[in-house]
């Protein structure tokens, strides 16, 4: 009885958390470069005083699915997709470095190269600035060049190079914003072997059908755990009644 209550109670709580994670995956099924979160359950014993049969269910985030998404042609000069492994380095609101596979870029009114969510794209020496009234070209190695809109080919300007990194996957931690950061808090070194494809975007690797099936399964698990709590409560009442009359 003791083990049943603790397991069902914690299981129901963490099932709700897993449902939230699956919901986030579904919400980002069309987000370029999104990496699906992977969660799993595990049971851990309760330390301290009490019966050894007590156990908690813990929602363990196993990590992220790093498999590549499908390449989608856009033909847009500021759309880039990572070719193979690697990440685009961006600057978060707190000034720190994070990594994304979402290569849908834009130029802000102040001339900064940014992601669609307004994060500055980092170069080898900081955020990249694009001159106004120019046509932007992004090379395979992330090099950004601009040409005036009057198409003067002899006025090509080298803006800089997008910082492309490839830190080990086991050293990356997912944030609540969907970005990845180095688990040790340090910035990854630029990796010259990482390349991009201009005019393409990498789609999300979330399998919408699989995520929907997982959501249904989690809903049934939650219902089962609530029934277990109801059964435990009913058994406890009956036991107390029998012991009381005895």
Residues 135-192: tens digit of each pLDDT: 999 999 999 999 887 766 667 888 999 999 999 998 998 888 889 999 888 899 999 9
Residues 54 and 147 in one domain: no
Do 82 and 18 share a structural domain? no
Co-location of 34 and 79 in the same domain: no
> What's this model's pTM, rounded to 2 decimal places?
0.77
Cβ proximity of 92 and 98 under 8 Å = yes
The number of folded domains in the chain is: 2
The range of the structural domain enclosing residue 214 comes to: 2-66+206-245
- Among 78, 115, 79, 118, which Cα is nearest to 100's? 115
Pair (170, 94) in one structural domain? yes
| Residue 143 and residue 31 in one domain | no
Are 197 and 86 found together in one domain? yes
Do 239 and 123 belong to one domain? no
Same domain, 113 and 160: yes
Query: Which of 195, 219, 207 has the alpha carbon at shortest distance from 69?
Result: 207
pLDDT of residue 168: 93
The pLDDT of residue 246: 47
Residues 215 and 191 in one domain: no
| pLDDT tens figures, 79-104 | 999 999 999 999 999 999 999 999 99
Same domain flag for 76 and 182:
yes
| Torsions phi, psi for 161 (to 5 deg) | -130, 130
């Amino acid at each position: 009885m003791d083990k049943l209550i603790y397991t069902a109670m914690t299981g129901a709580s963490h099932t709700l958390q897993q449902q939230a994670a699956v919901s986030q995956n579904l919400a980002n099924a069309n987000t370029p470069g999104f990496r699906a979160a992977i969660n799993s359950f595990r049971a851990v014993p309760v330390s301290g005083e009490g019966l050894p049969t007590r156990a908690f269910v813990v929602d363990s985030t196993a990590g992220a699915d790093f498999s590549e998404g499908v390449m989608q042609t856009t033909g847009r000069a500021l759309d880039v997709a990572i070719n193979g492994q690697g990440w685009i380095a961006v600057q978060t609101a707190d000034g720190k470095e994070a990594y994304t596979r979402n290569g849908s870029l834009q130029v802000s009114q102040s001339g900064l190269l940014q992601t669609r969510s307004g994060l500055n794209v980092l170069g080898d020496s900081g955020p990249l600035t694009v001159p106004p009234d120019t046509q932007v070209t992004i090379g395979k190695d992330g090099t950004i060049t601009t040409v005036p809109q009057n198409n003067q080919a002899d006025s090509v300007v080298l803006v800089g190079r997008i910082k492309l990194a490839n830190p080990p996957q086991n050293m990356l931690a997912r944030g609540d914003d969907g970005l990845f950061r180095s688990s040790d808090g340090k910035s990854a070194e630029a990796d010259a072997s990482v390349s991009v494809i201009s005019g393409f975007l990498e789609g999300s690797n979330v399998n919408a059908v699989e995520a929907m099936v997982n959501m249904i399964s989690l809903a049934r698990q939650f219902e089962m755990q609530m029934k277990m709590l109801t059964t435990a409560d009913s058994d406890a009442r009956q036991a107390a009644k029998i012991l009381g009359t005895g």
